[in-house]
Amino acid sequence: MATIKKKKLKLKKGAYILFGILIVTITSLIFGIKYYKDYKYKQTYEYKLINIGYSIDNAKQIISKVNDETINYILNNPQNDLIVDFINEKYFIENNLDNYLKFFEKQNDETLTDIVAMVNTHANNKWYEVTFNTDINLKEKMIVNKFYALNKEYAPTDLKNISLDYSYGNEGDNKLLSYAYDEFMNLWQAANKAGFYLMVTSSYRNYEEQESIYNERKEAQGERKADQTAARPGHSEHQTGLVVDMTSKSEPIESDFKESKTYNWLKENAYKYGFIERYPEGKTYITGYEPESWHWRYVGSEAAKVIHDENITYDEYYAYYIEYKNK
Ligand SMILES: [Zn+2]
């Protein structure tokens, strides 16, 4: 009997020890997991962003919208809610964040949307201060503006003469790149059906022609004025062979064209044929040009539709949809 009791006691003792070990294990496990979770959370961007002053909501927005490199840039700078505002801009480009903030400091009377547009298109720089080479492999999507230039030698090989039925000047004065020419003819027909008669006033110009136009204007008006209305050689879209300056038979004067019904028709329909108004009203701060209701650029119908629907300039389209999105 006594041995059985002893055994029972021993068993009881063993159970207590086991139970004790179990409790200790579970508790340390719970605390361990909690500690580990805390430790892990402290490694997250969310914790780090909140730690430097962002709200949970803003931290979540930052994480969901930008890549690691940009988050690290944000973490290495003081908390700034402006960053979140920029990130939420429609045409926000990550690599430009630092420039948006710097430009905002200088130009804080501009809206954030305008700052994004200007930085994206390099228009935060002085004209011709920074220049890049136009990527001619992009064909009808190549960009030529105050910051992107074609070299002296660039000349399209496949130019077609525009008939004197649709253009002023002499035979051979007006030319377009063949595929732009074909679309121009489609546009011409559609306009004609709607009761308008388009007339081309200028189109392809080579480097030297642009050089003499610019120099003439510079001599007459000075460099500043000349830069507002004429492109420097290499910086003119006319050198691409993708541009028509046009008015109509009934409203032949370029400067009056913006008041015409033909112009209104073009504004609503030209994009269907791949043509866009290149220097629209109210966008001089981006394009660098006073409005030119007569200057139409072929970019292809897909790009033209986006530009028309989103009411952006080609410069903005190029920055966001080609340079940034296609990377
Ligand atoms: Zn023009």
What digits encode the pLDDT tens for the residues 168-200?
999 999 999 999 999 999 999 999 999 999 999
Tell me how far the alpha carbon of residue 289 lies from the centroid of ligand 1, in angstroms: 11
Tell me how far the alpha carbon of residue 327 lies from the centroid of ligand 1, in angstroms: 30
Q: Where a domain ends, among 63, 98, 120?
A: 120
Residue 8 reports pLDDT greater than 80:
no
- Are 265 and 150 in a shared domain? yes
- Report yes or no on 218 lying in a domain: yes
Residues 6+ apart with CB under 8 A from 207: 150, 152, 153, 154, 155, 233, 234, 239
Residue 2 reports pLDDT greater than 70:
no
- Report yes or no on 199 lying in a domain: yes
- Are 78 and 109 in a shared domain? yes
- Report yes or no on 182 lying in a domain: yes
Residue 1 reports pLDDT greater than 60:
no
- Report yes or no on 5 lying in a domain: no
> What does the pLDDT look like over 113-154, one tens digit per residue?
999 999 999 999 999 999 999 999 999 999 999 999 999 999
- Are 81 and 194 in a shared domain? no
> What does the pLDDT look like over 191-236, one tens digit per residue?
999 999 999 999 999 999 999 999 999 999 999 999 988 999 999 9
Q: Where a domain ends, among 65, 98, 120?
A: 120
pLDDT at 12: 79
- Are 82 and 194 in a shared domain? no
Active site residues: 292
- Are 190 and 70 in a shared domain? no
- Report yes or no on 61 lying in a domain: yes
Query: Averaged over 234-250, what is the pLDDT?
Result: 97
Structural domains in the chain (count): 2
Spatial distance between the Cα atoms of 117 and 196, rounded to a whole number of angstroms: 34
Q: Where a domain ends, among 74, 91, 120?
A: 120
What string of H, E and C letters represents the secondary structure of the chain? CHHHHHHHHHHHHHHHHHHHHHHHHHHHHHHHHHHHHHHHHHCCHHHHHHHCCCCHHHHHHHHHHCCHHHHHHHHCCCCCHHHHHHHCCCCCCHHHHHHHHHHHHHCCCCCHHHHHHHHHCCCCCCCCCCCEECCHHHHHHCCCCCCEECCCCCCCCCEEECCCCCECCCCCCCEEEHHHHHHHHHHHHHHHHCCCCEEEEECCCCHHHHHHHHHHHHHHHCHHHHHHHCCCCCCCHHHHCCEEEEEECCCCCHHHHHHCHHHHHHHHHHHHHCEEECCCCCCHHHHCCCCCCCEEEECCHHHHHHHHHHCCCHHHHHHHHHHHCCC
pLDDT at 151: 95
pLDDT at 82: 95
Residue 7 reports pLDDT greater than 90:
no
- Report yes or no on 227 lying in a domain: yes
> What does the pLDDT look like over 297-318, one tens digit per residue?
999 999 999 999 999 999 999 9
- Are 160 and 78 in a shared domain? no
- Are 140 and 281 in a shared domain? yes
Strands 148-149, 132-133: parallel, antiparallel or unpaired by DSSP?
parallel
> What does the pLDDT look like over 287-299, one tens digit per residue?
999 999 999 999 9
Tell me how far the alpha carbon of residue 319 lies from the centroid of ligand 1, in angstroms: 21
pTM above 0.85, yes or no: yes
* Neighbour-count burial for 147-179, b at 16+ CB within 10 Å, e otherwise: bbbbeeebebeebbebeeebbbeeeebbbbbeb
Tell me how far the alpha carbon of residue 317 lies from the centroid of ligand 1, in angstroms: 19
- Are 200 and 295 in a shared domain? yes
**Percentage of residues in the chain having pLDDT higher than 70:** 97
- Are 274 and 164 in a shared domain? yes
- Are 190 and 243 in a shared domain? yes
- Are 114 and 226 in a shared domain? no
In this structure, what are the phi and psi dihedrals at residue 277, rounded to the nearest 5 degrees?
-75, 120
pLDDT at 107: 86
> What does the pLDDT look like over 43-96, one tens digit per residue?
999 999 999 999 999 999 999 999 999 999 999 999 999 999 999 999 999 999
Domain range enclosing 154: 132-324
- Are 63 and 184 in a shared domain? no
pLDDT at 325: 87
- Report yes or no on 226 lying in a domain: yes
Tell me how far the alpha carbon of residue 304 lies from the centroid of ligand 1, in angstroms: 17
- Report yes or no on 34 lying in a domain: no
Amino acid at 63: I
> What does the pLDDT look like over 251-296, one tens digit per residue?
999 999 999 999 999 999 999 999 999 999 999 999 999 999 999 9
The CATH number of the domain where 206 resides is what?
3.30.1380.10
